[in-house]
Amino acid sequence: MVQPLGYLKESPSQTAGPYVHIGLTPNVAGIHGVYDSDLGATMVNDRTRGRRITITGRVLDGTGTPLKDALLEIWQADAAGLYNSPSELRGSADPDFSGWGRCATDGVTGEYRFETIKPGRVPFRDGRPMAPHISVWIVARGINLGLNTRLYFSDEEAANAEDPVLASIEHRIRVPTLIAAGDGDHYRFDIHLQGEKETVFFDI
């Protein structure tokens, strides 16, 4: 026999289901008066530093049909590349930027939308700079465990080319699935859950 390690097991995930909005965006679900506003609805204010951008897109299933009941959360660094988190030890992030947003896909069109800022660069584990990116988490009916991906920017070609995470993708044909297409200050990022255009998802 050996000494027991004594670790617990993580609580197993279950799907968020079709009514995730009741809990996470109740005002969107039409449940008013419980919370003043939905958490994560606003990431920036008038004083937030950095370039304002909008990100829109859809989440598509294996037939190309948009999910009208998905919920996305994003997590990103501020314009200087600092996270607004107690685990950020490199400095203090912009207090006027939460770094975290939440949005349900529209019940009719399936579109999501975030109003945020372009993040700065953050170091990889070995200190090399990663390209500007936003972490994305997707839950919905039919998704048993939340899916993690990353959004990179089409106008950061040089940084993307040296990004250690993008570089770890063996099948180079899949790299573009993580690159949001920019048009001015607007970026478009569709997420394909399954099939030929399947987005790269991470086990983080």
State in angstroms the smallest separation of the CB of 10 from another protein.
Answer: 5
State in angstroms the smallest separation of the CB of 128 from another protein.
Answer: 8
CB of 68 closer than 8 Å to CB of 108: yes
Whole-angstrom Cα Rg for the chain:
18
Q: Please list every residue from 122 through 181 that binds another protein, using CB under 8 A.
A: 122-128, 130, 133, 135, 137, 139-148, 150, 165, 168-169, 174
Segment near another protein (CB under 8 A); pick from 45-53, 73-81, 151-159, 179-187: 73-81
Smallest Cα–Cα separation from 80: which of 72, 90, 70? 90
Smallest Cα–Cα separation from 133: which of 97, 163, 108? 163
- Structural tokens at position 132: 């500007």
State in angstroms the smallest separation of the CB of 47 from another protein.
Answer: 18
- Spatial CB neighbours of 149, under 8 Å, sequence gap ≥ 6: 135, 136, 138, 178, 191, 199, 200, 201, 202
Among 54, 85, 92, 109, binds another protein (CB under 8 A): 85
Q: Please list every residue from 13 through 72 that binds another protein, using CB under 8 A.
A: 13-24, 26, 29-31, 33-36, 39, 61-63, 65, 67, 69
